[in-house]
Structure 1
Amino acid sequence: MKNYRVDWNLGGIIIFLSLLVAIVSLFMTWIDLGPMTWNGLDQKGYISLLFWIYPLVRLFQNKKIHSIIGIISAAAAIALVLFFLTDLSVDFYVVEFNVTGIGVYVFVVAAIALALGVIMYQKK
């Protein structure tokens, strides 16, 4: 039987915690229209979790994360969520409203933490 040992540095811990924060944000409000709200699961935000696959697989294998691939993965997660953020503006007569809930902002922080964790994770 193989003995598994988690040997993560600060970058690895940040990557794992950013995944947990991203998952929690999916249950928070992503769209808030007053009496009507939708969470990240309703908005298919779980698709954005695909960008965590490569860093997590390398992390659990205790192997080096290639910086370019990891940063591209994190940047794609950030770009996708920022696109979602800017797309949630509603024009009502002359005034523009942003109906984004707190969950999207928490997800952006998690995606930025993913990028930071990938940069900080250096395997010997």
Structure 2
Amino acid sequence: MNFQKWDMGSKMIFIASCAAFISFFFKWVDVGFISQNGFTQGAVFFILLFVYPFLMVIREKRMNKKLSYVMAILGIVFGIIYISSKTVDFLSSTINVASSGPYLFMAASGLLALGVYKRRN
């Protein structure tokens, strides 16, 4: 594993995978007096979407770009679904209690898609 000799796409995929993992340490739900990170929310399973592209970069193997695009798009879709599911009624008004974690995860998924596009096979 030599980060220096990787192409730009491989570096982006590596950074996106790290950012996705780091997002689980951020708050995923914040109600003010209660907050939970991605691990306690069970969102940590979303990282499975990054495993295949990450392993192909680390092993420096040829990547199935269609599969990797599907995983990146699913990351964005799951992020949107997660954020939408955190809308609650509170004191006769609707609020969304999703915090910064899912937004960082969605940004990492977008960076994953860009990295797959830029990566040379």
**Alignment pair present for 1:56 and 2:49:** no
Q: Which residue, 36, 42, 45 being the options, matches 2:43?
A: 45
- Pairwise CA RMSD: 1.4
Unaligned runs of 5+ in 1: none
Q: Give the 4+ runs in structure 1 shifted more than 3 A.
A: 4-7
Aligned length: 120
**Alignment pair present for 1:71 and 2:72:** no
Q: Is the contact made by 1:26 and 1:103 (CA closer than 8 Å) also made in structure 2?
A: yes
**Alignment pair present for 1:17 and 2:15:** yes
Distance 1:113 1:44 in 2: 23
Q: C-alpha displacement at 1:88, in angstroms?
A: 0.6
Q: C-alpha displacement at 1:49, in angstroms?
A: 0.5
- 35-44 vs 56-65, greater mean Cα deviation: 56-65
What percentage of aligned pairs have identical amino acids? 28
Q: Which residue, 87, 90, 96 being the options, matches 1:89?
A: 87
Distance 2:21 2:71 in 1: 17
**TM-score when scaled to structure 2?**
0.91
Partner of 1:34: 32
Deviations 1:2-43 (A, max 9, x none): xx5454111111111111111111111100011100001101
Q: Is the contact made by 1:27 and 1:40 (CA closer than 8 Å) also made in structure 2?
A: yes
Unaligned runs of 5+ in 2: none
Q: Secondary structure at the match of 2:6?
A: coil
Q: Is the contact made by 1:22 and 1:106 (CA closer than 8 Å) also made in structure 2?
A: yes
**TM-score when scaled to structure 1?**
0.89
Q: C-alpha displacement at 1:92, in angstroms?
A: 2.7
Q: C-alpha displacement at 1:94, in angstroms?
A: 4.0
Q: Is the contact made by 1:65 and 1:122 (CA closer than 8 Å) also made in structure 2?
A: no
Distance 1:38 1:5 in 2: 36
